[in-house]
Amino acid sequence: MEKTHKSGFVNIVGNPNVGKSTFINSFAGKACTKTGNKPGVTKGKQWIRFNKELELLDTPGILWPKFDDQKVGLHIAMIGSINEDILDQNELAIKLLDYMMTNYNIELKDNYNDCGHMIFSNNQKTFQGGSGAGCSAAIMASEAGAKVLIATKLRPGDANTMMAEGGIQAADKPNDSPAQHYLDCYGGGHFDGKPELVYTLVNKAPSVIKWLNDLGVEFDKMEDGTMVTTHGGGTSRKRMHACKDYSGAEIMRTLRDEVLNRPDQITVVDFTAAVEIIKNDKGEACGAVLMNVETGELRIAKAKVVIIATGGAGRMHYQGFPTSNHYGATADGLVMAYRAGAKLLYQDSLQYHPTGAAYPSQILGKLVTEKVRSLGAKLINKNGEVYIHPLETRDVNASGIIREVREGRGVENGVQTAVWLDTPMIEMIHGEGTILKSIPAMYNMFIKYGIDIRKEPILVYPTLHYQNGGVEINATCHSDVANLLVAGEASGGVHGTNRLMGNSLLDVVVFGREAGIEAGKMFKNISLTDTNKLTLKHVKDFEAERDKAGIKGDVVSPKVFPTYYHGNPEFEGKAIPGASK
């Protein structure tokens, strides 16, 4: 990038040929409507004059930077002047934008499409993540009258919520109670959960089930309308509510539809990843830097309240395990929150679901729901021994499978040494037709590869499934950073160091709603931060701390998407995350 200093102004000449017509037509055209000028004409130094290559000629300036490592230029066009050396690109753009707004009376629109290439959106709340938690929060915040922006790096619903299968817990039967649910949850988490979070989870559960049912979630029910409930690992009562084995997909479908049905209150920007939290001069969260994952364009969203609901980390493939997580689960929310000053809790604690598919290779790591075992399927080693109770907690069953394999009692299959899950036992217990009625997704996943789970067992091995730890929050989802809330799998403390089946779907809805309700109260007493007070200083401070600690490395973070090299000859013979052979 060329840097020139002229008349006390900083001018940056980047790639003038990419998107110049879009710049003139959208941004310059709208700005000139406000100022009464025309592109290409200098009038009292109120506007910009271009040459045929669209390079900057005189002041005020045009900021047109380009990232050298991207094929597509980062297009940021601004009027403005500045009397200091080049700053961080985002900080410089913010300063120039403020100058433009102050001196040229140009109004910025809330709608992204009205703002040209460097886009500022003023929102009462910005949600990062189109997950179950993000959608639940957006719905509740909109109920309080807030204007909401959801930024999601894929599409709304592309989340671990969609991947969940087995069900959602709630103590709403006569023989159960939130107190009993508390004991199961707190004990199952090795007594490491934050008591106030566990209390909120179990006490809000029955009302959450009713809320979801009223929104249209199609729970499994008996003929009289009573909801069907089953056991999960570590539960002392049957409190698992399910939608066959598509529970997460059905809940996510309903929440997503509710969000999309509120276009006047909730704006969804898809394929746009949050890459940094923006703070103000008081240290409060007041927005986010967003990146269009297709074009590399940066967008700035200002907000009164920011909620992180970015989900888990399975695509990091910790310890080389395959994962059941969706493509965008890369712990990006934790990185942003930590750099902004939020504390993390139990980040060393990850859940490996005991039954991930181990064969065939096309579905390695795909989730085999715990509901299969709750219906009666047993875990069996190569000697035909039922070596463990199938509904022990997940950490116990996962370690049990790993032990069987390491001690030579696993089943070799050419993909991943594993143990058997005796699925034909289900219909021996409950009768013919049970599998197609209760777990059709499991049947469909395996039958594609010629495996009929009604007639033959399947091979399973633990898969990286859930991030027990995350950003530390209180009962109303506040982190240590003012105006920064966190909900769902990105938060830590709800499940301690081990999560029970069905408590993740419950977590995303309970705390997603709580975050939205809290934000709905907060935004009325918060003013949008002035543009010239926005800062990314905390990022520079974080890098300084890394240098001071002697931490080296050039890995870009947050990691937006995983990197895979399957089938690329250039990487033959090198370890590939997610495959043991």
Q: Which positions are catalytic? A: 353, 373
Distances (CA, A) of 382 to 412, 426, 455: 9, 20, 18
Q: Which residue has the tokens 């027990």?
A: 468
d(CA 454, CA 28): 65
- For 314: left if phi > 0, alpha if psi spans -120 to 50, otherwise beta; the answer is alpha
Q: Which two tokens stand for residue 266?
A: 């909730």
CB-based contacts of 574, cutoff 8 Å, min separation 6: 565
- For 138: left if phi > 0, alpha if psi spans -120 to 50, otherwise beta; the answer is alpha
Instruction: Decide if 196 contacts 474 (C-beta within 8 A).
Output: yes
- Can you state the percent helix, strand and coil of the chain, rounding each to 5? 35, 20, 45
d(CA 512, CA 522): 15
Q: Which residue has the tokens 């905390």?
A: 538
CB-based contacts of 220, cutoff 8 Å, min separation 6: 227, 228, 241, 242, 243, 244
Residue 131: count of CB within 10 angstroms of its CB: 36
Instruction: Decide if 534 contacts 280 (C-beta within 8 A).
Output: yes
Q: What distance lies between CA 345 and its chain's CA centroid? A: 17
3-state secondary structure of 3: strand
d(CA 429, CA 433): 11
DSSP 24: I
Q: Which two tokens stand for residue 213?
A: 């049912």
CB-based contacts of 508, cutoff 8 Å, min separation 6: 131, 132, 133, 136, 161, 309, 487, 488, 489
